[in-house]
Amino acid sequence: MNIDGPAPAQDTASALFGMPWLRVVEAEPEDDGTLTVWAVPDAPARCPGCGSPASGVHEHVAAAAKDVRCGGRPVRLRLHKRRLECHEPSCPVNTFTEPAPPLPPRCKVTPRLKDQAACDVTDRGVTPAGAARYAGLAWHTAHDAFAGRADQILDAPLAPVAHLGIDEHRRGRPRWRVNPETGSTSCSRTGGIPASPTCPAASG
- For residue 143, give its domain range: 109-156
Measured CA to CA in angstroms, residue 146 lies from 98, 119, 123, 137, 150 at distances of 31, 7, 10, 13, 6
Give the CA angle between residues 161, 164, 167 to the nearest 5°: 135
pLDDT bin (cut points 50, 70, 90) of residue 178 is confident
Q: Are residues 30 and 98 in the same domain?
A: yes
Question: How many whole angstroms separate alpha carbon 113 and alpha carbon 64?
Answer: 14
With b meaning 16 or more CB within 10 Å and e meaning fewer, what string describes 47-58?
beeeeeebeeeb
Q: Are residues 46 and 77 in the same domain?
A: yes
pLDDT digits (tens, 9 = 90+) for 43-94: 778 888 888 888 788 899 899 999 999 989 999 999 999 899 998 889 999 9
pLDDT at 130 over 50: yes
Q: Are residues 19 and 78 in the same domain?
A: yes
Alpha carbons within 13 angstroms on the beta-carbon side of residue 127 total 4
Q: Are residues 128 and 80 in the same domain?
A: no
Q: Are residues 170 and 129 in the same domain?
A: no
Q: What percent of the chain has pLDDT over 90?
A: 38
Q: Are residues 37 and 14 in the same domain?
A: yes
Question: Would residue 204 count as lying in a domain?
Answer: no
Q: Are residues 23 and 61 in the same domain?
A: yes
Q: Are residues 2 and 96 in the same domain?
A: yes
Q: Are residues 96 and 191 in the same domain?
A: no
Q: What percent of the chain has pLDDT over 70?
A: 81
pLDDT average, residue stretch 23-31: 92
pLDDT at 204 over 70: no
**Closest CA relative to residue 19, chosen from 2, 40, 33:** 40
**What is this structure's pTM?**
0.68
pLDDT bin (cut points 50, 70, 90) of residue 184 is confident
pLDDT at 135 over 50: yes
